[in-house]
Structure 1
């Protein structure tokens, strides 16, 4: 992403008024270090926590997480569904656009940040995802998907059945 996009997102996040954990990797900005101005820390104060790494799956399992900003890679998508957390998607390349589209249009568990990100749009998306009708619907739908995923992974579930079948057909043949 560009430095301008980073700042627009940051100020939209600050303007939302919500507490947040933000994993800001040093390589986030293309060709430069990801740097936020001192005013950002002053504006967000104690409601923000910035880090360069966190155990994403564990964080997404925490009850305090209301929405997850993701580039929409498949692993992040699965971890968010497993945690029952709706997503605000900001895809960049590869399968991310397809995953984002499915989350928005097919599954109803995500919203998308436009390519030309602006702070007002980010602020509105976060507020809607946290407190709006669309956000409530996304939480309801991701909870349903989470239940399906948990059931599939239990003994006798579809995923367990399919892996057992794979072992029988490929490895035991």
Structure 2
């Protein structure tokens, strides 16, 4: 079978960074195995990434593609586990990042559908300018928010983790929660 080339992907899923590890890993994995694979399973769902899936379905050199995600929701439905207090907990975590505690209780204390959830995932990075623009947008929104800020979210940062201005912290202390990771 013909190798998948970056130019075969639509513009909206092409990586602008030639060193984009996860994108290149996916392309290399498909190229290495698509002659053996009878199908490709993706951790997504049709309504979220319809254009991408349509584009991939149209690529004749690929085996059938099935969207079977999001896995995070499936783990809660099909793989139960109980802790020592006989409380149901999830036994599978799809993330390699350590999850912080306290965010679920904070979220449960808010009205349903009243919190903005911001998470750029495991591999996306932002410039300091993009990070600050997003912070300003959240501050100006006047909404409750749960923002996942990984230590490596801001690329080329001179600090160990992204730094938010004191004004942001003061403005949002009653309505925002910042965590380094949560599901």
TM-score normalised by structure 2 residue count: 0.29
With a CA cutoff of 8 Å and minimum separation of 6, indicate the structure with the bigger relative contact order. 1
Specify which structure has the higher proportion of helix.
Answer: 1
Q: TM-score, normalised by structure 1?
A: 0.31
